[in-house]
Amino acid sequence: MQSYESLPDNKGHFEEFGGKFVPETLMAALEELEQAYKQSKGDKSFKEELDYLLADFAGRPTPLYFAKRLSDKYGAKIYLKREDLVHTGAHKLNNCLGQALLAKKMKKKRIIAETGAGQHGVATATVAALFGMQCQIYMGEEDIARQQPNVERMKLLGAKVIAVTSGSKTLKDAMNEAIRDWVTNVTTTHYLIGSVAGPHPYPMMVRDFQVVIGLETKQQIVEKENKMPTHIIACVGGGSNAIGIFYPFLNSSTGTARRARTKLFGIEAAGLGLDSGKHGAPLARGNKGILHGSLSYVIEDDFGQITEAHSISAGLDYPGVGPEHSYFKEKGLVTYDSVTDAEALNGFETLSKTEGIIPALESSHAVAYLEKLKMAKDDLVIVNLSGRGDKDLDIVKKAGLK
């Protein structure tokens, strides 16, 4: 068996998953991006500039916080990795900073992206402002109506928000429009994908930009506890915050090394329930298919059409998942499970009231999984708190939380 560490191969495959399913006109752009990325990886000045921005602009390293009252409640030692404290309120900026620097290196003057709830749009508009680049964000008409505050934020940051009126007027249609724009303007424009999805090299590159979460965590937990965690929990939409924290803790070895292995849990959105047909859990209830330029698990209808995903947390209602997660699932390297909207709301309330931290509804899925996880007194559990919950107050209020 190939080790996960050598993947993807040079065509972007994680065994059967991944690849580059894009129009011929984009092949050269993907090649250019891959070359620029490879060069930047070995380039000391690129690393220094990114490290500087991650520290002084984004606010890294984020703390690894010992959640004492939460630990008392669940009877194990629980830490929170505080990505909610990153500038703009979530982990997404880590990746946007990396890609914007690459865009600068490739002399692109314009950045485009699609967004569902607007979080990735805000992070993209932020880095475009930081680098003085033009920015155009594609967003479904439905989502624009539902996510007004983020639309206002993007505009304030200088981005142009384009309403997408085709199809279901949501994320997947916005994705198609962004790809269409890229095909037309490929020489001047960088397409900034927000998760470990899309065609090669995006899943690899976004993973590498988010791995900072896991590298910091590993150092911090050793400093604080002098041992490795027994469990790490993260929510999975496209899968970037999860892969970022998991990656340095993956271990495919057998024998004695296996015993000490940290167990990794990726939590998808079960929405109204996995059997309701209204969920966002392609790994739990999807089929293999092609979405957004790569092969992975996707949610589709009986005719093989990609359908809309449903979750109370907008960041988790992407109908696909990054191809490397499909590979991890197949190899048993990560355990994937799901929690419902109702369970996530409980997690949201629990963390708010026991720790004074209001989590994003996405992150609340990871928090909620503490209810399901079998823990012992000596266990050392880390929850990746991918973002803060201020953006979700309206949704939570409408859902009728006390």
Ligand X SMILES: *Cc1c(COP(=O)(O)O)cnc(C)c1O
Catalytic residue IDs? 92, 114, 386
Based on the shown chain and the rule CB under 6 A, indicate whether residue 315 belongs to the binding site for ligand X.
yes
Residue 189 CA to residue 203 CA, distance in Å, equals 19
In the chain, what are the helix, strand and coil shares in percent, each to the nearest 5? 45, 20, 35
Q: Which of 388, 382, 387, 386 is nearest to 79 (CA)?
A: 382
- Compare residues 40 and 386 and give the one whose CB is closer to ligand X: 386
The DSSP string of 301-362 is: -TTS-B-----SSGGG--SB--HHHHHHHHHTSSEEEEEEHHHHHHHHHHHHHHHS--B-HH
Q: Is the CB of residue 115 less than 8 Å from the CB of residue 155?
A: no
Q: Which stretch binds ligand X (CB under 6 A): 67-75, 232-240, 291-299, 328-336?
A: 232-240
Q: Which stretch binds ligand X (CB under 6 A): 5-13, 15-23, 154-162, 359-367?
A: 359-367
Closest separation between CB of residue 246 and ligand X, Å?
11
- Compare residues 40 and 241 and give the one whose CB is closer to ligand X: 241
Based on the shown chain and the rule CB under 6 A, indicate whether residue 237 belongs to the binding site for ligand X.
yes
Q: Which stretch binds ligand X (CB under 6 A): 69-77, 252-260, 331-339, 360-368?
A: 360-368
Closest separation between CB of residue 318 and ligand X, Å?
7
Based on the shown chain and the rule CB under 6 A, indicate whether residue 386 belongs to the binding site for ligand X.
yes
Residue 17 CA to residue 204 CA, distance in Å, equals 12
Alpha helices by DSSP H, listed for 132-236, are 141-146, 148-156, 171-184, 202-210, 212-225
Q: Which of 330, 372, 336 is nearest to 234 (CA)?
A: 336
Q: Which residues contact 42 (CB under 8 A, 6 or more apart)?
A: none
Based on the shown chain and the rule CB under 6 A, indicate whether residue 119 belongs to the binding site for ligand X.
yes
Based on the shown chain and the rule CB under 6 A, indicate whether residue 387 belongs to the binding site for ligand X.
yes
- Compare residues 300 and 317 and give the one whose CB is closer to ligand X: 317
Q: Which stretch binds ligand X (CB under 6 A): 51-59, 100-108, 238-246, 393-401?
A: 238-246
Residue from the set 40, 294, 363, 364 that interacts with ligand X by CB under 6 A:
363
Residue 192 CA to residue 170 CA, distance in Å, equals 18
Residue from the set 208, 362, 379, 392 that interacts with ligand X by CB under 6 A:
362
Based on the shown chain and the rule CB under 6 A, indicate whether residue 192 belongs to the binding site for ligand X.
no
Closest separation between CB of residue 252 and ligand X, Å?
22
Closest separation between CB of residue 283 and ligand X, Å?
12
Based on the shown chain and the rule CB under 6 A, indicate whether residue 235 belongs to the binding site for ligand X.
yes
Indicate the Cα dihedral angle 156, 158, 160, 161, nearest 10°. Answer: -30
Closest separation between CB of residue 239 and ligand X, Å?
5
Q: Which of 119, 51, 128 is nearest to 91 (CA)?
A: 119
Would you say how long the chain is, in residues? 402
Q: Which stretch binds ligand X (CB under 6 A): 7-15, 59-67, 234-242, 294-302?
A: 234-242
Residue from the set 53, 236, 245, 396 that interacts with ligand X by CB under 6 A:
236
Bridge partners (DSSP) of residue 328 are none
Based on the shown chain and the rule CB under 6 A, indicate whether residue 92 belongs to the binding site for ligand X.
yes
- Residue 300 sits at φ, ψ, to 5 deg, of -140, 165
Based on the shown chain and the rule CB under 6 A, indicate whether residue 88 belongs to the binding site for ligand X.
no
Q: Which residue lies nearest ligand X, judged by its C-beta?
A: 387
Q: Is the CB of residue 83 less than 8 Å from the CB of residue 91?
A: yes
Q: Which of 81, 75, 86 is nearest to 382 (CA)?
A: 81
Based on the shown chain and the rule CB under 6 A, indicate whether residue 238 belongs to the binding site for ligand X.
yes
Interface residues with ligand X (CB under 6 A) are 90, 92, 119, 195, 235-242, 315-316, 360, 362-363, 386-387
